[in-house]
C-alpha cells in the first residue's frame, strides 16, 4: 500500500491525474484483490472449523420415552426425559437419580475436587458435564441448556479454537525466514539502484542518464528515487510467502471436511498431520476389526452341548429358571415389547444384546423377571476383572449372579447343575470338558461368556449403610452355562490391514478377549499371516507382558502382533514401550479405562458408536462408524496433508527463487526490472492464494500408501523437492534473463522504438513467466511421479483454477494493458510464451530421472561439519 501511494503520487505529478493514476491505482487494486481473496478463504475455513467444532459437541445418548429407549442428540434432551447412565457416560443435563446401583460420579469438571462422589437416595442430584465413574442408574432430567450448572459455567467461557499445529508453527518459521531473506535482498537492491541512479549509471530508453549531478532538478531526482523504492517494495512482495500459512489452513480444513465424510471426526487439528507419520496402529478387536453384531451360536448347559443353543427342551427347568434370572437381572441392557405384536426392541452393548436375545429365545419374560426380584447390590462389569455380578433378593432368599470371561468365571466355579437338575461337584473330567469347549469355541473365533450363580444367606447381607462397600463374593459358584458368541469380521478389513502393511504401518490387535479367539480373528484379518506366526512373542497374553521388566517390554514390544486378555493398563504399557522405541503410535479405544492409553498415544482414536464419553474426551480423532477401514482412511488423509503442503512449498519456492533472481539480476545490471509491481502482485495472487487453493485440495492417492511413513524430524523440503525446484528455477531464470538482455535481437525488435521494444520484451517475459507457473503447478502435483497429469480431471477445483488463471492472463494482456504496463502481443509471441511454459513440463519429467541421495542434504552437511569439528578437536 505504501508502494501504491508512492506510485500514485509520482504518476499524478509527472503525467497528470488523467493518465498518472494507472500505476498506483493498479497496485492498490491488486493489493485489495489479494487481501479480499485471502480474507474470504480464511473466513470460509474458520466457518468450517466452527461447524466441525459444533459436530464435536453433538453427543448421541439414549433416553427413555414412553417406556422405550431411543437414541437422541444431546441437544434434543428435554426436561422430563429419563436417561440411563453407565460407566464412562457424561451426564447430559441436570437431573435427579431415580434408581441406580453403585453409581459414582467424577464431579471434578464442576467442583474441581478429584474425589469420586457416590450417588443414592440421600444424595440424588446429578450435574451435567460430570462423568460416570462407576455403577449404573436412571436419571430424571430437571434442567437443560443454560438452565444447568454446566450451562451457566460454559456461557461465561468461550472455547479457543486458535490451536496451531506443529506443521503450522514450522511453516510460519519458514515464511518468516524467507521474508527476512527477501527483505535483505530488497534492501541491497535499493542501495545498489540508488548508488547507480545518483552516480549517473541508470539510463533512459534513449540511452541518456536519468540523473546528472548539478543538472537534474530536485523533483526529477525524487521521482527517480520513488521509482527505485517501488522496485524494492515489489521484491519484498514477491519474497514474502504469505500463502504458506493459508495453504496449511486450507489443506487442514479440506482434509477435516473430507475425513468427516469418511467417518472420522477430528477433535485436535495436530492429529491430522501426526497421523501421516504413524508407524503402528494398536487396534481393538470387537467392533473395530469385527462387525459388533453378536449372536449366541453355541451353548454348553448341564455338562453337555445344546444344539441349537436356544433349545429349551434340553435344559432342566431349574437351570432354565436360574438362567432367566441371571440373564434378565445381571445386565445393563433392556427389553421393550411394543404393543400390537411388533418386534421386540433390545438395547445395551452388543454382548448384552446377544445374551438377552438368547434369554428371550429360552422363554425369558424380561419384565416379569425384573418385577419378581429386587437388586440389592451390583458389581458392574469392568475390563480389569473381566466380569460383572449382582446380588438379588427374591421372596426369602438371596442369589448372587456372575457373568464374564468364560475361563475366569469357570475358575471361580466348584460345581454345576446336571441334566437332572441336581448340583454336582465340578470334577477334573468335567472341568477339562468345559476348558476344551472354551478352547474349541475360541479357536472358531467365538467370544466365550460363562454364566454362574450361588445362593447366599440372607443374614450375611450387609445393612443398607454398609452395602456400598460390600464386595459380592465370587467363590464357590455354580456354573449355569457357557455360551459362544459369534462376531464376524468386518468386510474389507483384510484389505485395509494389507494396505497398512504396504504403507509401512504395523497393525497390532490388543483385545480383552481370549487369546485363542484373538488368534483366530487375527489370522482372518491378516494381522497374523499364518499359524507359524501365531507364537510368542507375536502372540502374547496381557498378564505375561505386564509381568516383564520395563527393558524386556521394550525389547518384545516391536514383535507383538496380538495381545489377548489384556487390561487397559497392558495397552498403556505397550504404547509406552512402542513410543520409547521411536514409534509414532495410533491407538483405538472405546472404554473409560482406555483413556490413559488414548492420552499417552501420539494419536488417540475413540470409537463413535461403542466409545464412552470419557474415551472420546481423551481422543484426538473419533471414528464415527467404529470401522478399522476408516482408521486407514485417516492415515491416508494424514499423509495427504503433509504431501499437499510439500507440493505447495515446492511450487511457491520455485516462483520465489525465479522472480527474485530475475528482478535482482536485472535491477543490479540494467538498473530496471522486467517484472513491475502490478505484474508481480498478479503472479503473487496466482502463486499464493490460487496456488494454495489448487494444491492444498488435492485428494489423497494410492501412491501415498505405498510410501513409508514420514519421520517426525524429516525436513519439510526433501532432496526430491530441492531437485525439482532447482531444475525449474534454473530453467525459468535462464530463459527469461536471456529474453531480458537479448530480447530485442531474438524477437527482431530493432526496427521498433526503444520504448516500444522494451514494452514488448517485458510483456513477453511477464506472459512467459505466468505460463511457466501454470505448468509448474502441474509439475508440483506429483513431485516424485513421472505422469503429472494422472487423476487431474478428478480434481475439478485444480482444473478450474488453472483455467481461471489462463483466462485472466489473456484479459490482462488484451484489455488491461494500461494498468499492468503491458502491450498486446502478436499471436507468434503468444505462441512463444506458451511454448516456454510448456517446455518446463518435459524438463521436470526428465529431471525426475536424476537420482538424489535419500539422506537429507541438511543431515549430510551437519555430518560433514561434525567430522571437521572432531578432526580439529583431535588435532
- Strands 446-456, 603-607: pairing is unpaired
- Strands 506-510, 562-564: pairing is parallel
* Count of CB atoms situated within 10 Å of the CB of 686: 23
The residue to which cell 477334573 is assigned:
428
Task: Give the CA diameter of the chain.
Answer: 127
The residue to which cell 481461471 is assigned:
804
**Hey, what's the cell of 131?**
462423568
Closest by CA to 524, choosing from 488, 569, 485, 571, is 488
**Hey, what's the cell of 202?**
541508470
The answer to whether residues 162 and 644 touch, using CB atoms and an 8 Å cutoff, is: no
Is residue 294 classed as helix, strand or coil in its secondary structure?
Answer: coil
Task: Give the burial class of 142: count Cβ atoms within 10 A of its Cβ; 0-12 exposed, 13-18 middle, 19 or more buried.
Answer: middle
Distance, CA of 538 to CA of 556 (rounded, Å): 9
* Active-site choice (284, 570, 594, 602): 284
Is residue 400 classed as helix, strand or coil in its secondary structure?
Answer: strand
Residues in the chain: 875
Report DSSP state, residue 129.
Answer: T
Question: Could you tell me which residues are beta bridge partners of residue 58?
Answer: none
Task: Give the burial class of 246: count Cβ atoms within 10 A of its Cβ; 0-12 exposed, 13-18 middle, 19 or more buried.
Answer: buried
What are the φ/ψ torsions at residue 156 (nearest 5 degrees)?
-95, 0
CA distances from residue 398 to 18, 318, 331, 388, 696 in whole angstroms, order as listed: 102, 16, 17, 17, 67
**Hey, what's the cell of 339?**
404393543
Distance, CA of 315 to CA of 304 (rounded, Å): 10
Distance, CA of 822 to CA of 810 (rounded, Å): 11
Distance, CA of 375 to CA of 684 (rounded, Å): 73
For the packed helices 243-261 and 166-198, what is the interaxial angle rounded to 10 degrees?
150
Active site annotation includes 76: no
Closest by CA to 149, choosing from 113, 75, 87, 95, is 95
**Hey, what's the cell of 274?**
501426526
Distance, CA of 477 to CA of 616 (rounded, Å): 37
Distance, CA of 174 to CA of 122 (rounded, Å): 61
H or E stretch at 603 = strand 603-607
Question: Could you tell me which residues are beta bridge partners of residue 138?
Answer: 84, 99
- Strands 446-456, 477-486: pairing is antiparallel
What are the φ/ψ torsions at residue 33 (nearest 5 degrees)?
-60, -45
* Count of CB atoms situated within 10 Å of the CB of 569: 15
Task: Give the burial class of 833: count Cβ atoms within 10 A of its Cβ; 0-12 exposed, 13-18 middle, 19 or more buried.
Answer: buried
Task: Give the burial class of 866: count Cβ atoms within 10 A of its Cβ; 0-12 exposed, 13-18 middle, 19 or more buried.
Answer: exposed
* Count of CB atoms situated within 10 Å of the CB of 21: 17
Distance, CA of 861 to CA of 148 (rounded, Å): 61
The answer to whether residues 179 and 239 touch, using CB atoms and an 8 Å cutoff, is: yes
Distance, CA of 297 to CA of 265 (rounded, Å): 35
End-to-end CA distance of the chain: 57
The answer to whether residues 481 and 300 touch, using CB atoms and an 8 Å cutoff, is: yes
The answer to whether residues 329 and 401 touch, using CB atoms and an 8 Å cutoff, is: yes
Which residues does the annotation mark as catalytic? Answer: 284
Amino acid at each position: 500500500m505504501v508502494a501504491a501511494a508512492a506510485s500514485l503520487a509520482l504518476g499524478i505529478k509527472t503525467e497528470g491525474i488523467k493518465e498518472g493514476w494507472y500505476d498506483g491505482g493498479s497496485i492498490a487494486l491488486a493489493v485489495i484483490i489479494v487481501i479480499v481473496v485471502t480474507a474470504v478463504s480464511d473466513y470460509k475455513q474458520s466457518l468450517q472449523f466452527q461447524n466441525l467444532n459444533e459436530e464435536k459437541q453433538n453427543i448421541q445418548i439414549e433416553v427413555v420415552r414412553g417406556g422405550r429407549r431411543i437414541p437422541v442428540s444431546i441437544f434434543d434432551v428435554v426436561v422430563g426425559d429419563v436417561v440411563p447412565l453407565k460407566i464412562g457416560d457424561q451426564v447430559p443435563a441436570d437431573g435427579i437419580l431415580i434408581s441406580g446401583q453403585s453409581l459414582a460420579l467424577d464431579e471434578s469438571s464442576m467442583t474441581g475436587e478429584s474425589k469420586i462422589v457416590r450417588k443414592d437416595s440421600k444424595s440424588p442430584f446429578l450435574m451435567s458435564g460430570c462423568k460416570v465413574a462407576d455403577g449404573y442408574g436412571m436419571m430424571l432430567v430437571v434442567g437443560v441448556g443454560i438452565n444447568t450448572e454446566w450451562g451457566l459455567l460454559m456461557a461465561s467461557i468461550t472455547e479457543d479454537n486458535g490451536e496451531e499445529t506443529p506443521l503450522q508453527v514450522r511453516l510460519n518459521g519458514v515464511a518468516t525466514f524467507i521474508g527476512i531473506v527477501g527483505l535483505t535482498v530488497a534492501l541491497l537492491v535499493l542501495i545498489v539502484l540508488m548508488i547507480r541512479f545518483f552516480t549517473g549509471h541508470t539510463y533512459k530508453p534513449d540511452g541518456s542518464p536519468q540523473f546528472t549531478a548539478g543538472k537534474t532538478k530536485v523533483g526529477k531526482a525524487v521521482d527517480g528515487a520513488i521509482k527505485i523504492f517501488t522496485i524494492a517494495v515489489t521484491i519484498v512482495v514477491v519474497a514474502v510467502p504469505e500463502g504458506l500459512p493459508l495453504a496449511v489452513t486450507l489443506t487442514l480444513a479440506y482434509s477435516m471436511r473430507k475425513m468427516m465424510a469418511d467417518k472420522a471426526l477430528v477433535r485436535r487439528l495436530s492429529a491430522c498431520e501426526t497421523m501421516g507419520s504413524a508407524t503402528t496402529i494398536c487396534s481393538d478387536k470387537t467392533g473395530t476389526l469385527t462387525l459388533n453384531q453378536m449372536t449366541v451360536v453355541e451353548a454348553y448347559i448341564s455338562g453337555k452341548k445344546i444344539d441349537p443353543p436356544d433349545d429349551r427342551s434340553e435344559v432342566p427347568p431349574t437351570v432354565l429358571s436360574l438362567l432367566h434370572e441371571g440373564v434378565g437381572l445381571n445386565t445393563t441392557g433392556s427389553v421393550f415389547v411394543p404393543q400390537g405384536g411388533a418386534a421386540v426392541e433390545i438395547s445395551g452393548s452388543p454382548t448384552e444384546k446377544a445374551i438377552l436375545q438368547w434369554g428371550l429365545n429360552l422363554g425369558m419374560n424380561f419384565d416379569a423377571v425384573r418385577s419378581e426380584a429386587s437388586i440389592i447390590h451390583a458389581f458392574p462389569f469392568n475390563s480389569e476383572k473381566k466380569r460383572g455380578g449382582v446380588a438379588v433378593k427374591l421372596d426369602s432368599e438371596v442369589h448372587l449372579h456372575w457373568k464374564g470371561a468364560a475361563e475366569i468365571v469357570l475358575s471361580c466355579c466348584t460345581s454345576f447343575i446336571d441334566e437332572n437338575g441336581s448340583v454336582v461337584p465340578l470334577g477334573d473330567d468335567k472341568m477339562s470338558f468345559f476348558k476344551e469347549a472354551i478352547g474349541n469355541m475360541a479357536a472358531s473365533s467365538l467370544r466365550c461368556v460363562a454364566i454362574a450363580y450361588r445362593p447366599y444367606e440372607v443374614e450375611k447381607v450387609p445393612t443398607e449403610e454398609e452395602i456400598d462397600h460390600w464386595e459380592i463374593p465370587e467363590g464357590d459358584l455354580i456354573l449355569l452355562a457357557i455360551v459362544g458368541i459369534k462376531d464376524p469380521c468386518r468386510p474389507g478389513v483384510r484389505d485395509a490391514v494389507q494396505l497398512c502393511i504396504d504403507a509401512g504401518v504395523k497393525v497390532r490387535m490388543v483385545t480383552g478377549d481370549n487369546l485363542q479367539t484373538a488368534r483366530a480373528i487375527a489370522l482372518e484379518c491378516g494381522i497374523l499371516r499364518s499359524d507359524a506366526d501365531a507364537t510368542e512373542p507375536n502372540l502374547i497374553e496381557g498378564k505375561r507382558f505386564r509381568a516383564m521388566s520395563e527393558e524386556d517390554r521394550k525389547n518384545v514390544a516391536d514383535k507383538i502382533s496380538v495381545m489377548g486378555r489384556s487390561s487397559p493398563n497392558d495397552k498403556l504399557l505397550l504404547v509406552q514401550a512402542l513410543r520409547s522405541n521411536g514409534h509414532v503410535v495410533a491407538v483405538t479405544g472405546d472404554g473409560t479405562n482406555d483413556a490413559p492409553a488414548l492420552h499417552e498415544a501420539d494419536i488417540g482414536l475413540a470409537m463413535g458408536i461403542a466409545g464412552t464419553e470419557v474415551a472420546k474426551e481423551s481422543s484426538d480423532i473419533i471414528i464415527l462408524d467404529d470401522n478399522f477401514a476408516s482408521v486407514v482412511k485417516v492415515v491416508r488423509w494424514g499423509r495427504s496433508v503433509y504431501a499437499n503442503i510439500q507440493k505447495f512449498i515446492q511450487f511457491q519456492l520455485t516462483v520465489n527463487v525465479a522472480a527474485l533472481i530475475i528482478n535482482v539480476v536485472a535491477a543490479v545490471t540494467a538498473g530496471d526490472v522486467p517484472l513491475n509491481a502490478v505484474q508481480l502482485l498478479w503472479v503473487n495472487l496466482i502463486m499464493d492464494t490460487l496456488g494454495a487453493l489448487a494444491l492444498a485440495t488435492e485428494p489423497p492417492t494410492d501412491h501415498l500408501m505405498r510410501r513409508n511413513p514420514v519421520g517426525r524430524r524429516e525436513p519439510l523440503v526433501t532432496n526430491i523437492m530441492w531437485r525439482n525446484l532447482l531444475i525449474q528455477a534454473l530453467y525459468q531464470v535462464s530463459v527469461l534473463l536471456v529474453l531480458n538482455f537479448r530480447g530485442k535481437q531474438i524477437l527482431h525488435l530493432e526496427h521498433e522504438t526503444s520504448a516500444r521494444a522494451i514494452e514488448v520484451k517485458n510483456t513477453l517475459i511477464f506472459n512467459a513467466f505466468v505460463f511457466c507457473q501454470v505448468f509448474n503447478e502441474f509439475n508440483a502435483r506429483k513431485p516424485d511421479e513421472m505422469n503429472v497429469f494422472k487423476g487431474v480431471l478428478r480434481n475439478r477445483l485444480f482444473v478450474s483454477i488453472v483455467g481461471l488463471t489462463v483466462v485472466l492472463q489473456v484479459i490482462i494482456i488484451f484489455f488491461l494493458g494500461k494498468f499492468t504496463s503491458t502491450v498486446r502481443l502478436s499471436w507468434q509471441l503468444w505462441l512463444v510464451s506458451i511454448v516456454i511454459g510448456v517446455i518446463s513440463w518435459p524438463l521436470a519429467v526428465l529431471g525426475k530421472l536424476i537420482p538424489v541421495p535419500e539422506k537429507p542434504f541438511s543431515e549430510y552437511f551437519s555430518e560433514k561439519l561434525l567430522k571437521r569439528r572432531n578432526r580439529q578437536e583431535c588435532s
